[in-house]
Structure 1
């Protein structure tokens, strides 16, 4: 969150909240190459990562799954990170009050910095990579976050630096909250692994008997 706030401070000090040169260059490239081929998936990402579905439904499903597979510490960690990330986004939006780009293809709430969609995606990606430390989870989370970042600028909902700020905020919150519960999550994961091993042994005994 501190890194995201620092980036926001740079934006305010250097450009008084207006777009930086990198923002305008990136946006001009996007507008020049817009097409319906990319607009449809971008609109899908807009729904998936925001609104009631992205902010409430997706996190709730993940938390319920974690509870069902007997990972209560992981569920609590994910809930805390999601809530803190969302609160951080709204706080920074209020503090910086940055105007959104003019060439928007979707309607959005106040405050362009930071991107709530990207912060939400980054929080989810980092949390799941910590809870399930497998390569495919890391790669899938990274890909999802990058696609979300690109879709937000493609739709003109955010400047590039808004999405970077959201990335720093979301990932930062997930990492900071992980520190105090790391031992609990590791113990819970080890217990889950032992349970899987016991189930496999029971199935093998059943098949051989």
Structure 2
């Protein structure tokens, strides 16, 4: 990935999230029917083990653990690339939180009425899913491997799914959260590219062929 691709992919993701949010406000019939159908389906799937899984994800993806422990943990991993990469990771998480809260307060979407746990103001976008997407992007920039991409994608999907299991978010909230969190992380990475651009991948490591794109050559 180059700096330009990261920037425009991030901008596009945020723009799509804003469009979806605007449709929810201006033309709710286009999306609400899907959201309501998914919420009913989650109610039918709900079981003690699934709820327990969702509650664990709720803890890991929000509150003090997601706001303090996860960013600091990833920042420590960033030290493997140097202090600049570590600082960039913290900026990614902070920017994601700010972007999510900005959109939440602009839209003020109500949450499902049958939610299983108490939550803060604003349903769109999902802050937990945004945190998961920001984490996935940050880890990919630190460790650009196929395994990181797959693991990050599964984490985002699991987090979004868990939010709908608890009926604390609509399905579209989780999509918007993934777009806002991932998009913001990509934009921040593009701005701080010399600090956080993808590290060179050792030859034979499986992440990229020898002579492929490195931080020094990708502009």
- TM-score under structure 2 length normalisation: 0.81
Q: Is 1:130 aligned with 2:141?
A: yes
Given candidates 18, 22, 34, the residue that maps to 1:22 is 34
The residue matched to 2:125 in structure 1 has which SS? coil
Partner secondary structure for residue 96 of structure 2: helix
Greater displacement, 25-34 / 56-65 = 56-65
Q: Deviations over 1:101-134 (max 9, x none)?
A: 0111111011101100000000110111122101
- Name 1:73's counterpart in structure 2: 84
2: CA distance, partners of 1:146 / 1:124 = 13
The answer for unaligned runs of 5 or more in structure 1 is 194-209
Secondary structure of 1:20's partner? helix
**Within 5 Å, which residues of 2 pair with 1:37-186?**
37-67=49-79, 69-186=80-197
TM-score (norm 1): 0.84
CA separation of 1:186 and 1:115: change in aligned 2, threshold 3 A: closer
Whole-Å Cα distance in 1 between the matches of residues 172 and 18 of structure 2? 12
Aligned equivalents of 1:101, 1:182: Cα separation in 2: 39
CA distance in 1, matches of 2:157, 2:201: 33
Q: Are the counterparts in 2 of residues 98 and 111 from structure 1 also a CA contact under 8 Å?
A: yes
Do the aligned partners of 2:115 and 2:167 also contact (CA within 8 Å) in 1?
yes
The verdict on how the C-alpha distance between 1:37 and 1:191 changes in structure 2, with shifts beyond 3 A counting, is closer
Larger proportion of helix: 1
CA RMSD of aligned residues (A): 2.1
Aligned residue pairs total 190
Higher Rg of the two aligned structures: 1
- SS in structure 1 of the partner of residue 123 of structure 2: coil
Stretches of structure 2 lacking an aligned partner (at least 5 in a row): 1-13, 204-219
8 A contact 1:19–1:159 mirrored in 2: no
Whether the aligned pair in 1 keeps the contact of 2:89 and 2:138 (CA below 8 Å) is: yes
